Homo-oligomer: A and B are copies of this chain.
Amino acid sequence: MNQPAPNFYHPAPRSQQFCSQCGHPLTRETPPDDNRIRDLCTHCGAVHYQNPRNVVGVVPILGNQVLLCRRAIEPRYGKWTLPAGFMELGETTEQGALRENQEESGARIQVQSLYTVVDVPSVNQVHLYYLAQVLGPELDPGPETLEARFFDLDRIPWNELAFRTVSTTLQHYVKDCQQGLFTTRHYAIDIRFPD
């Protein structure tokens, strides 16, 4: 009876009403020596800056195949994605990408190089994908994944991919395979426009 309802816990939204330091109601105001409006506490002086978040992941390659995971969570439940998720405190982008792969696909991998850096300002995110070599066919997907599966590069389910950062990263990979050259690419995605 003391269990919370299934969806009781949820990520705190960006909008803030109370100071995390002293609990007083916040004011929206430009602090001294700043040039934009922040959530600030006139009681204790804490300024609550907010910043974009990084999503880190891998492009796990085994021979001529790429490993994709079918999402068991919203958003995009049931769609295919590359193993990726929010970067955590105390880790590098590469360590975060390794961790996300472990959690979502369970594949043994070796990270090779930073492949795409994708700005998505509409959702205040930067996505960073690493090329990774899969070291064996064994998979062990976690609870956020319905199914993990290797796809031939000419059988990628393009219409069933979860995110444009994923589809554009895979498009670059397929193209780069033809040339045999894989350099780091940077671009921005504006979700107001199609690819």
Considering only CB atoms and an 8 Å cut-off, how many residues of chain A contact the other chain? 60
Q: Is the beta-carbon distance between A9 and B124 smaller than 8 angstroms?
A: no
Which of B31, B41, B46, B126 is close to A54, meaning CB atoms less than 8 Å apart?
B126
Q: Are B48 and A20 in contact (CB under 8 A)?
A: yes
Asked if A53 CB lies within 8 Å of chain B CBs, one says: yes
- B-chain residues with CB within 8 Å of residue A87 when the two chains form the complex: 51-52, 126
Docked CA distance A11–B19 (Å): 12
Query: Does A32 sit at the interface, judged by CB under 8 A?
Result: yes
| Interface assignment of A104: CB less than 8 Å from any CB of chain B | no
Given contacts A186-B113, A186-B114, contact A21 B11 (CB under 8 A): no
| Chain B residues within an 8 Å CB radius of A50 | 89
| Residue in contact with A17 in the complex, picked from B9, B23, B51, B88, CB distance below 8 Å | B23
Q: How many subunits of this chain does the assembly comprise? A: 2
Nearest residue, chain B, Cβ from A92: B119
Q: Contact check: which of B40, B88, B121, B143 meets A51 at CB < 8 Å? A: B88
- Interface membership of A64, Cβ < 8 A: no
**In the complex, A184 has a CB within 8 A of chain B:** yes
Chain B residues with Cβ below 8 Å from A128 are: 117
18 contacts between A and B (CB under 8 A): A9-B46, A10-B47, A11-B46, A12-B49, A16-B21, A17-B20, A19-B20, A23-B23, A50-B89, A52-B91, A54-B54, A54-B126, A92-B121, A93-B119, A93-B126, A114-B117, A114-B184, A184-B184
Instruction: Please report A residues at the B interface, Cβ cutoff 8 Å.
Output: 4, 8-14, 16-23, 25-26, 31-33, 35-36, 40-42, 45-54, 86-95, 103, 113-114, 117, 119, 121, 124, 126, 128, 143, 183-184, 186, 188
Given known contacts A94-B188, A183-B183, what 11 new A-B pairs fall within 8 Å (CB)?
Answer: A9-B32, A12-B19, A16-B21, A17-B22, A18-B22, A23-B25, A36-B88, A51-B86, A51-B89, A93-B117, A184-B186
